[in-house]
Amino acid sequence: MKNNFGKLLRSLVFILAGIGITQVFINSMTAEKTENEHVEKIKESYNIYSLSPPETFEFAGQKVPMSDPEVFERFDRELHSNTYYHSNTILYFKRANRFFPVIEPILEKNGIPNDFKYLALVESGLQNVVSPVGAAGYWQFMEKTAKEYGLEVNSQVDERYHIEKSTEAACKYLLDAYEKYNDWSLVAASYNTGMNRIDQELERQKTDNYYDLLLNQETARYMFRIMAVKQIFNQPENYGFHIRKKDLYPPLEFNEVEVDSSINDLASFSKDHEISYKILKHFNPWLRQVYLKNESGKVYSIKLPLSKDYKLN
């Protein structure tokens, strides 16, 4: 009786094991089929293409020698890098919709080619960021250079973070560089590495042509990043960017209040104007403290949002 029961139990175990193996096999086949279907869907809906730089291209009204194989390959690199760095380039489009309308008329007023708006975009992504070496703001000024070009920089006020004033200062630098080089490509390169370095390299390499210069990798790539972004912005759908108008960040609309005395508590000042301290700093990132000790009586213009969406409840 016991032997028969044992045999029956062993048979049952073998049967169950067989069923389990069969089920694992079926599950494996199903998973493989599902994975294959997934791969096929990816092939149908997502493709990565090699891109072709334009045959002709201009930066700031000057022709880029695209027939030069080395120039072509540098453009090619940056065109691919910026096209396939999707998230970053999409954010470029979004922020540019907010800040290009501020930058463009200032460039035009100062006689700077419109293409230099892409320099600001590449420098900072149109964010108030700080580089590892301390360059800050939309145009990435070092503190010493910012002061040389008329920006106030101290512990309370840092106008490198003021879009209008920093753009004006950038224009002054660009005009100085153009007076020296009479070449907008060299002007743009000098913005990255400094006029002294460009002067040294032009003399050492016995050329006056940016495209004939051998420069460090960062500066060598810099101009081509600017040009690649311009190309993508001019023909976004050719590079796979389909961005709806409603997805773009709208320009900031505001009134300005002039103050010529100290503000001891910017949080209270904000509340008095029915906005939060956070929103005050969002519209006025150049205010660097929780107060403004204006002992000199200088007149500052503080932006206050027009939209009710920014108001306190």
**Positive or negative torsion for Cα 288, 293, 296, 302:** positive
Which residues make Cβ contacts (< 8 Å) with residue 274, sequence separation at least 6?
Answer: 311, 312
Please tell me the distance from the alpha carbon of residue 99 to that of residue 111, in angstroms, as a whole number. 19
pLDDT digits (tens, 9 = 90+) for 218-258: 999 999 999 999 999 999 999 999 999 999 999 999 999 99
Average pLDDT of the residues in 26-48:
69
CB 64 within 8 A of CB 210: no
**How confident is the model over 178-219, as pLDDT tens digits?**
999 999 999 999 999 999 999 999 999 999 999 999 999 999
Helix (H, G, I), strand (E, B) or coil at 52: coil
Name beta bridge partners: 301: 258
Chain centre distance of CA 74: 20
> Greater confidence, 189 or 24?
189
pLDDT above 60 (res 17):
no
The total number of residues written for the chain in this structure: 313
Can you tell me the distance from the alpha carbon of 176 to that of 155, in angstroms, rounded to the nearest whole number? 28
Beta bridge partners of 157: 287
